Amino acid sequence: MSEQPAAKVRVKRGTAQQHLLDSAQQLFGDKGYRGTTTKDIAQHAGVSENLIFRYFKSKSELLLASVVNPLFEVLQTFRDDWQRDDAFRAQPHQEVVHTFVARIVDLIDSHHGLARAILNVLVERPSDFDTPAIGARFAALLTDMAPPMAEFLGNRGLAATNPGLVLRMGIISAITNVVLLPESYGEGDQPPTKAVIVDELTNFVVYGLQGSSS
Domain boundaries, the chain: 64-209
Tens digit of each residue's pLDDT (9 = 90 or more) over 83-99: 787 887 788 888 888 88
Quote the pLDDT of residue 21. 94
Q: What is the pLDDT of residue 116?
A: 76
Contact between 42 and 59 under an 8 Å Cβ cutoff? The reply is no
On the 0-12 / 13-18 / 19+ scale of CB atoms within 10 A, 59 is buried
Over residues 61-80, the mean pLDDT reads: 84
Contact between 29 and 112 (Cβ < 8 Å):
yes
| Residue-level pLDDT at 214 | 45
One-letter amino acid of 117: A
Question: Are 114 and 70 spatial neighbours (Cβ–Cβ below 8 Å)?
Answer: yes
Distance between CA atoms of residues 38 and 36, nearest Å: 7
For the chain, give the mean pLDDT: 81
Ordered alpha helix ranges (H), 57-127: 59-63, 69-84, 86-89, 93-110, 112-124
Nearest-angstrom CA–CA distance, 54 and 56: 6
Read off the pLDDT of residues 129-175 as tens digits, 9 standing for 90 and up.
Answer: 888 888 888 888 878 877 777 777 777 777 666 777 777 887 788 88
Rounded to whole angstroms, the Cα distance separating 171 from 146 reads 14
Fill in the amino acid letter for 42: A
Q: Is residue 23 predicted with pLDDT exceeding 90?
A: yes
Query: Above 90 in pLDDT, residue 176?
Result: no
Mean pLDDT value across residues 191-211: 83
Q: Residue 71 CA to chain centroid, in angstroms? A: 4
CA separation for the pair 44, 30 (Å, rounded)? 13
pLDDT at 173: 83
In sequence order, what DSSP letters do the residues of 120-141 get, joined into one string? Answer: HHHHH--TTS-HHHHHHHHHHH
pLDDT at 144 (0 to 100): 80
Residue 213's pLDDT band (cuts 50, 70, 90) = very low
User: Does domain 64-209 fall into CATH 3.30.160?
Assistant: no
Of residues 196 and 150, more confidence is placed in 196
